[in-house]
C-alpha cells in the first residue's frame, strides 16, 4: 500500500470556499466530488469505493449515483481524511477496491443543511469537560498550550509568529479567508478569545469542501491525468485520549509521535527528505507541537524555528503554504484542505508554488488532542 503503489489521481476543492450560503453540506460534498472526478478524468462509473466523515458514506455514494463495494465512514475529527487515504490505499492494495472517492463538505459558517450540534451530557466529555465550559474548540483544544510554552521557556509571541508566518503565505492567495498583512504585535493585541489565544491565533470559520480520487499506480499510469498523479509513500494513524485532560503529557501529543513515526518508517524517508510540511493548524500552538512531536526540531526549538523564518517563503521547511486553518480556510474538519495543498505543491499547481517540492509531509489532528493521521506524499513513486 505504501512506496508509491497507490496514487491520488484526482484532487479538488469546491468551486469557491469561505461563504457558501447557496449550498448545503451535502451539496458541498457533491460539488467537490464532481470537481475531483473531472480532475482525474474519471466518472462516477469508475468509482467502486467511497469514504467520508460526518455524513454516512452510503448517503454520499447514493447522492452521486455510485454503487460502492467498499465503504469507510471513519470519523475521528479533522484528520479523518488522512485516515481515509491510508485505508483506501490498504483496500486498493488488497483488491477490495479499485477507485476510491473521498469527500468532505462542511457548512461551518453558514450552517446550511448541517446537523444540529448535539452534546451528550452522559458522555465522558459531557460529564467531565463540558460542565467546565470546555465546549468550543477555542476553550478546549487550547487548554494544554500554556503548559507547553511554560515548560519550554516559550511565550505567547511564539504563537503570534505562527499566525504571522501563515498570513504571509495567504497574502496573495485569492481563495484565502484572511489576507491582510499581520505583525506579531497586531496578533498579540487582537481581541482575546481564550487567553493566551487572540483572534488571529484561532482558525477562521468557513464553508467549503474537497475531494480526492485514489487508485493504484498502475491504473494511474493509464489515465489522461497520469503526469499529475501524486503517490503515497507512507502513512500512519493513532489516537490518545477521549478528552483533552487525559493527554499523558500536555506538552506533547502521543498520537502525533506514533502516527508520524509510522509514516516516516513506512515511507522510508528521513526528515531531510521532506520539502514541504502541512501541519493542521486549528490553533497556533498545533504546528509547534507537530514540529517537535514529528521530530523536525528538538524539544523546545519549535517556537524559535518558526520565529526565525524557517517556515516562510525561502525557508528551510515551508509550512502551511496555503495559509493554513488560521488564514486560508477551516470548515470544521480542515484535514482535507491540508491534503489538497500538498497535492497542489507536488503537482506544481499551488498559488505560492515552491520551486522543487518532491516530498510533502501532511500531519492531521482530530477531535482536539484525540486522533492523528499522517501522510507522506510524493511527486514520484519510490
Partner 1 sequence: MSEERTTMSGFEPTPTPETAPFWDATSRGELAVQFCTACARYYFYPRPQCPNCGSVHVEWRATTGRARLVSYVINYRPLPPFDPRTPLIVALVELAEGPRMMTNIVGVAPDPDHLPLDLELSVTFVAQGAVQLPVFEPAAAAA
What residues line the site for partner 1 (CB under 8 A)? Answer: 119, 121-122, 124, 126-136, 138-140, 142-148, 150, 192-197, 243-246, 250
Least separation, in Å, of the C-beta of 136 and partner 1?
A: 6
Least separation, in Å, of the C-beta of 153 and partner 1?
A: 12
* Nearer to partner 1 among residue 15 and residue 151 (C-beta): 151
Chain centre distance of CA 112: 22
Q: How many CA atoms lie less than 13 Å away from 64 in the CB half-sphere?
A: 34
Q: Length of the chain, please?
A: 382
CA 49, 228, 277, 206 dihedral sign is: negative
Q: Would you call 153 exposed, middle or buried from its count of C-beta atoms within 10 A (0-12, 13-18, 19+)?
A: exposed
* Nearer to partner 1 among residue 63 and residue 138 (C-beta): 138
How many Å apart are CA 320 and CA 325, to the nearest integer? 9
How many Å apart are CA 239 and CA 310, to the nearest integer? 29
* Nearer to partner 1 among residue 82 and residue 371 (C-beta): 371
Q: Are 263 and 236 in contact (CB under 8 A)?
A: yes
Least separation, in Å, of the C-beta of 241 and partner 1?
A: 10
Q: Are 100 and 50 in contact (CB under 8 A)?
A: yes
* Nearer to partner 1 among residue 83 and residue 243 (C-beta): 243
How many Å apart are CA 100 and CA 85, to the nearest integer? 9
Rg (CA), the chain: 19
Least separation, in Å, of the C-beta of 246 and partner 1?
A: 7
* Nearer to partner 1 among residue 197 and residue 328 (C-beta): 197
Least separation, in Å, of the C-beta of 157 and partner 1?
A: 14
Q: Are 305 and 299 in contact (CB under 8 A)?
A: no
* Nearer to partner 1 among residue 33 and residue 371 (C-beta): 371
Amino acid at each position: 500500500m505504501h512506496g508509491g503503489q497507490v496514487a491520488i489521481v484526482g484532487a479538488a476543492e469546491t468551486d469557491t470556499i469561505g461563504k457558501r450560503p447557496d449550498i448545503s453540506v451535502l451539496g458541498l460534498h457533491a460539488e467537490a466530488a464532481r470537481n475531483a472526478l473531472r480532475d482525474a478524468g474519471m466518472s462516477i462509473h469508475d468509482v467502486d469505493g467511497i469514504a467520508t466523515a460526518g455524513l454516512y458514506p452510503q448517503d454520499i455514494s447514493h447522492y452521486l449515483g455510485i454503487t460502492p463495494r467498499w465503504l469507510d465512514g471513519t470519523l475521528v475529527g479533522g484528520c479523518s481524511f488522512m485516515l481515509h487515504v491510508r485505508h483506501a490505499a490498504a483496500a486498493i492494495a488488497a483488491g477490495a477496491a479499485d477507485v476510491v472517492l473521498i469527500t468532505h463538505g462542511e457548512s461551518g459558517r453558514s450552517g446550511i443543511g448541517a446537523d444540529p450540534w448535539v452534546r451528550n451530557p452522559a458522555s465522558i466529555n459531557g460529564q467531565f469537560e463540558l460542565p467546565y465550559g470546555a465546549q468550543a474548540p477555542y476553550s478546549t483544544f487550547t487548554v494544554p498550550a500554556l503548559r507547553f510554552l511554560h515548560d519550554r521557556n516559550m511565550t505567547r509571541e511564539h504563537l503570534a509568529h505562527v499566525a504571522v508566518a501563515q498570513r504571509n503565505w495567504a497574502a496573495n492567495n485569492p481563495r484565502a479567508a484572511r489576507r491582510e498583512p499581520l505583525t506579531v504585535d497586531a496578533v498579540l493585541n487582537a481581541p482575546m478569545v481564550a487567553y493566551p489565544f487572540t483572534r488571529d491565533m484561532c482558525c477562521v470559520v468557513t464553508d467549503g469542501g474537497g475531494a480526492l480520487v485514489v487508485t493504484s499506480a498502475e491504473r494511474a499510469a493509464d489515465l489522461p491525468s497520469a503526469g499529475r498523479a501524486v503517490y503515497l509513500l507512507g502513512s500512519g494513524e493513532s489516537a490518545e485520549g477521549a478528552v483533552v485532560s487525559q493527554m499523558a503529557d500536555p506538552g506533547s501529543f502521543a498520537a502525533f509521535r506514533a502516527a508520524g513515526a509510522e509514516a516516516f518508517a513506512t515511507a522510508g524517508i528521513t526528515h531531510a527528505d521532506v520539502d514541504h510540511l502541512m501541519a493542521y493548524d486549528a490553533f497556533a500552538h498545533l504546528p509547534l507541537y507537530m514540529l517537535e512531536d514529528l521530530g523536525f526540531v528538538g524539544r523546545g526549538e519549535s517556537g524559535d524555528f518558526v520565529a526565525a523564518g524557517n517556515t516562510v517563503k525561502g525557508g528551510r521547511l515551508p509550512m502551511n503554504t496555503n495559509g493554513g486553518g488560521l488564514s486560508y480556510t477551516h470548515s470544521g474538519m480542515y484535514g482535507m484542505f491540508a491534503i489538497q495543498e500538498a497535492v497542489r505543491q507536488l503537482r506544481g499547481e499551488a498559488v505560492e508554488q515552491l520551486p522543487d517540492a518532491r516530498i510533502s509531509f501532511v500531519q492531521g489532528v482530530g477531535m482536539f488532542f484525540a486522533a492523528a493521521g499522517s501522510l507522506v506524499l510524493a511527486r514520484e513513486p519510490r
